[in-house]
Chains A and B, each alone.
Chain A
Amino acid sequence: MTKTPSAARLAAIKALLFALCLVPFALYTQRWFDDALGANPIEAITRGSGDWTLRFLLITLAVTPLRKLTGLNWLLRLRRMLGLFAFFYASLHFTTYFWLDQFFDLQSIAHDIMKRPFITVGFSAFVLLIPLAVTSNNYAIRRLGGRRWQSLHRAVYAIGILAIVHYWWLVKADILEPMIYGLILAALLGMRGWWREQERRRQIAASMPRPMPGGKVIPLVAKSPR
């Protein structure tokens, strides 16, 4: 079952996934124009774009574990698009705040970023996403070299944690939802930690000289016969 789809098939899968990733955006846009976002549409848009940023971050972070568990290596080919959609929804989230919520009031925004920890954390996560989005292309990978590109993109782990903290700190009392997202993130990062530890142990074991089976045991202290 680990057959890699053909190039044409993969292109079709990608096109379908692209359309699917746009569904939340389309739904919110429709509800906005239908005036169907409730009494406080700006809040609904802010929350919706934030929710979907977090979901796409988690989906992107789920690709590697899913690939390892299923052996479907081609899933990796979808990861860039998913990550870029996380950035797309993050940009919408930020724009909603910047434009609809604050109405370009730079002083108030600067004040918020400096003074409100949950905004500081959310803004940091967004800023950290920018270099990742900018380098999500083959040219950047070639330019940076695979190893450097990979270590840069490990920043997504920190971004995931910052995003959870951002959500956790903004809720008033009901932490159920941020906790659920947090547990999913912990599982996704925990699997990576576990695999890395396994890998480390394997390497240590491989580099150690093994005791020869059936070899003689040499006593450390020669006993003199009585």
Chain B
Amino acid sequence: MRILRPSDILPSEITPRALFEDRRRFLLGAGATLAAGAAMWAGLPSEARAAAAKLGPLARSPFSSDEPQTPYKAVTTYNNYYEFGTDKEDPAANAGKLTVRPWTVRVEGLAGKARTFDIDDLLKLAPLEERIYRLRCVEAWSMVIPWVGFPLSALLRQVDPQGSAKYVEFVTHYDPKIMLRRPVLDWPYTEGLRIDEAMHPLTLLTLGLYGEVLPNQNGAPVRVVVPWKYGFKSAKSIVAIRLVDKEPRTAWNKSAPSEYGFYSNVNPNVDHPRWSQATERRIGEFRKRPTLMFNGYAEQVANLYQGMDLRKSF
């Protein structure tokens, strides 16, 4: 296997994904063209999925990382979405059964103007931005993903949260007809944030990646991305967002309270009880790299946790 060293490629120099994905067909087609002398490769049947809807125009964000992005194929075939199976390739194979239209998100609880949002309204609720974030999984691997979305705070402000709303709970879609029925986790998967974390400008209500709507296996049609926390905090396929006054229970915390705390901030100094969190393998790289405090977002978020013992509040 060739291990490529990431190079400093400008986003503008990256081969458009459609072309990259079609490289085999392109080569086949090019061969056929040379052989037959006829330009017919464009007419070959497409093995790829139906073209995903483009999102745009997209504003650039100062929060974006300029690190090399993890290839689209890895981002969409190496997933933890347990409802569609617990192996990394399972979600890509099984999430096609998910129906993402129509879709609504209830924003409810301690809010003056609680209401339900249609997915098409969400797409127009605030200007869409591209946010290139590092994603650090609790399993000690990481990616760099160009998400598309807008700050969750823009949605929450719409419903006028009350002063008593101290936390936000995310409830995700669960349909036993198309999803795992074994109680690996307590379905539906729920997650939560403190209200200041939820309102933080880095917390992204996410509707797409690589400039297109989210593939199902990445949590379509709407998810949240909290880049300074381990990946499981970033709930997928959200159906309800609840403003609550008490710390909500979360799926992984219920499964193993000693291993997955409510905060689950990326922290190289606090190991998972069963493995080290000091280093990570960036997908596509060979050697492990050191994990950064708050996944490299300490400058933006460290102040949220001042005076807290992050060993206890892990």
Contact = CB atoms under 8 A, between A and B. Distances in A.
A39 B283 contact: yes
A108 B276 contact: yes
A173 B182 CA distance: 11
Interface string A166-182: 00011011101000000
B263 interface: no
A173 B256 contact: yes
Interface string A32-51: 11010111111100000000
Contacts of A32: 1
Contacts of B288: 101, 103
A112 B1 contact: no
B141 A43 contact: yes
A40 B283 contact: yes
Given A39-B77, A39-B283, A174 B86 contact: yes
B155 to A, nearest CB: 30
A129 to B, nearest CB: 23
Given A32-B1, A173-B82, A173-B255, A38 B274 contact: no
Contact of B274 (A39, A43, A101, A116): A116
B274 A174 contact: no
B125 interface: no
B73 interface: yes
B281 A116 contact: no
B274 A40 contact: no
Main secondary structure of the interface of B (DSSP, over half): loop
Main secondary structure of the interface of A (DSSP, over half): helix
Interface string A76-103: 0000000000000000000000001101
A46 B56 CA distance: 41
Chain A residues touching B, range: 20 to 34
Given A40-B88, A40-B281, A118-B274, A176 B182 contact: yes
Contact of A38 (B89, B139, B276, B279): B89
A193 interface: no
A41 B74 CA distance: 11
A214 B228 CA distance: 88
Contacts of A117: 274
Interface in B256-311: 256, 271, 274-276, 279, 281, 283-284, 286-288
A40 B184 contact: no
A38 B75 CA distance: 11
Nearest to A47: B87
Nearest to A111: B276
Interface in B158-213: 182, 184-185
B78 interface: yes
A173 to B, nearest CB: 5
A112 B276 contact: yes
A116 B277 CA distance: 12
A85 to B, nearest CB: 24
Contacts of B77: 38-39
B76 to A, nearest CB: 9
B274 A169 contact: yes
A100 B73 CA distance: 23
11 contacts: A35-B1, A38-B88, A39-B73, A40-B141, A40-B283, A101-B288, A108-B276, A112-B276, A169-B274, A173-B82, A176-B182
Interface of A: 32-33, 35, 37-43, 100-101, 103, 108, 111-112, 115-118, 169-170, 172-174, 176
Closest 7 CB pairs of A and B: A39-B78, A39-B74, A174-B86, A174-B184, A32-B1, A39-B283, A173-B184
Given A173-B82, A173-B185, 9 more contacts: A39-B74, A39-B284, A41-B1, A43-B141, A103-B287, A108-B276, A111-B276, A173-B184, A173-B252
